[in-house]
């Protein structure tokens, strides 16, 4: 990079940020089946560079399908932990080494504030929106005590690629060309992989990845992630769902589920999707107080962390009913109306009809 301190990016450089972000987001979110020959060749080059003999490859259609093989290798080589060592070597050689090379230069040349902005816009493309819930679900399997498989999943490599390529191509960072080439090849051609001494386990990419407009895992009545062998994960706006909820469209979720669900986060999701109008109707809310066309209601069953109090509003002209949740410490419908209207007493505004 230039010896002159760069105080800010040029307009041309700033315009390239979304170009590299979108390019690597597309790589990280690819649902194309991997080309097994290209995937194997990419990993062979990585093994060669860190001084390991060429491995035998075992391919699976999903991380779940590979689970038993991974555990078997882990148990067989537990004493020397060779799987974990090799996984760490690959990760630190190709991800952390590149990261250190490029980000140190960017921070030194641009200053911390610009570097932080670049990191947020380029490296944190997805913030591991599907990486985390996917492996949390797999970690629920019995006898699985290995975390290193996570370091070599396509999303982790893909998210870093945008920052690295921007530093290399736009800011002229000095870098190790061989490592960068292998990094790109693995990112574009591999799904999740686990490097062992003589064997490398490679998993395909998912066939379905579904997100909301904030790139949170989300699908309604269908899997948000699904692999070719059918292994799936359900999610609602970033919250992982059990199959019993996920396979049902939210329009058909039942208020009665709230009475049985013990997980607070899942109860919150159910409440959000079902809506207080249906909950009040289906669970039999009690009217505590009324004022004009407003009613203060309470759900008498324990369906949330704290009691649910609601303000029911009925439009006099249309009969349309709207229900909002209010704090459990309100004592009357009038007090609830005041809270909804940012402290303005109902006597101070005209009732709209």
Q: Give the relative orientation of helices 177-189 and 36-49 as an angle to the nearest 10 degrees.
A: 150
The angle at the Cα of 161, spanning 159 to 166, to the nearest 5 degrees, equals 120
pLDDT score of 350: 55
Average pLDDT of the chain, as a whole number: 81
Is the model more confident about 195 or about 135?
Answer: 195
Is the model more confident about 334 or about 79?
Answer: 334
pLDDT score of 126: 61
232 confidence band (pLDDT: 50, 70, 90): very high
- Which of 230, 149, 222 lies closest to 191 in space, CA to CA? 149
Contact 268, 262 (CB under 8 A): no
Average of per-residue pLDDT across 284-290: 85
Dihedral of CA 267/272/274/277: which sign? positive
pLDDT score of 311: 87
CB-count exposure of residue 255 (10 Å: 0-12, 13-18, 19+): buried
- 163: its two tokens: 């920052």
- pLDDT, one tens digit per residue, over 27-67 is 888 999 999 999 999 999 988 888 888 989 999 998 888 87
Main-chain phi, psi angles of 186, to 5 degrees: -65, -45
- b (16+ CB within 10 A) / e for 305-329: eeebbbbbbeeeeeeeeebebbeee
pLDDT score of 118: 82
144 confidence band (pLDDT: 50, 70, 90): very low
pLDDT score of 194: 79
pLDDT score of 76: 63
- pLDDT, one tens digit per residue, over 147-169 is 445 445 656 666 788 888 999 99
pLDDT score of 86: 65
User: Strand, helix or coil at 313?
Assistant: strand
pLDDT score of 229: 94
125 confidence band (pLDDT: 50, 70, 90): low
pLDDT score of 353: 40
pLDDT score of 148: 45
Average of per-residue pLDDT across 192-200: 80
81 confidence band (pLDDT: 50, 70, 90): low
Residue 218, pLDDT > 60, answer yes
Neighbours of 115 (CB within 10 A): 18
- Written as one string, the DSSP assignment of 210-234 is -B-TTS-B--SSS-SEE-TTS-EEE
Neighbours of 120 (CB within 10 A): 11
pLDDT score of 151: 45
Residue 132, pLDDT > 80, answer no
């Amino acid at each position: 990079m230039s010896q002159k301190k760069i105080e800010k990016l040029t307009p041309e450089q700033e315009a390239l940020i979304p170009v590299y972000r979108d390019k690597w987001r597309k790589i990280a979110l690819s649902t194309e089946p991997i080309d097994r020959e290209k995937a194997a060749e990419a990993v062979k080059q990585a093994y060669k560079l860190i001084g390991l003999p060429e491995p035998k490859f075992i391919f699976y259609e999903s991380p779940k399908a590979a689970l038993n093989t991974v555990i078997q290798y882990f148990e067989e080589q537990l004493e020397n932990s060779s799987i974990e060592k090799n996984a760490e070597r690959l990760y630190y050689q190709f991800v952390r080494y590149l990261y250190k090379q490029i980000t140190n230069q960017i921070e030194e040349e641009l200053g911390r504030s610009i570097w932080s902005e670049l990191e947020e816009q380029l490296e944190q493309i997805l913030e591991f929106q599907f990486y985390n819930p996917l492996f949390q679900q797999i970690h629920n399997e019995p006898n699985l005590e290995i975390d290193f498989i996570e370091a070599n999943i396509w999303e982790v490599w893909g998210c870093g690629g945008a920052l690295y390529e921007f530093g290399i191509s736009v800011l002229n960072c000095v870098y190790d060309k061989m490592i960068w080439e292998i990094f790109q090849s693995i990112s574009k051609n591999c799904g999740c992989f686990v490097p062992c001494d003589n064997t490398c386990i490679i998993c395909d990419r998912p066939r379905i990845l579904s997100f909301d407009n904030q790139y949170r895992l989300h699908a309604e009545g269908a899997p948000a992630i699904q692999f070719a062998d059918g292994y799936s994960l359900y999610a609602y706006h970033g919250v992982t769902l059990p199959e019993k909820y996920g396979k049902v469209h939210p329009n058909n979720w039942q208020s009665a589920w709230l009475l049985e669900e013990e997980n607070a986060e899942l109860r919150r999701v159910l409440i959000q999707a079902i809506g207080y109008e249906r909950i009040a109707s289906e669970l039999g809310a009690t009217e505590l107080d009324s004022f004009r066309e407003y009613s203060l209601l309470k759900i008498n069953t324990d369906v949330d962390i704290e009691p649910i109090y609601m303000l029911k509003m009925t439009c006099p002209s249309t009969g349309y009913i709207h229900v909002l949740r209010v704090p459990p410490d309100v004592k009357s419908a009038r007090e609830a109306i005041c809270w909804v209207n940012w402290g303005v007493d109902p006597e101070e505004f005209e009732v709209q009809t």
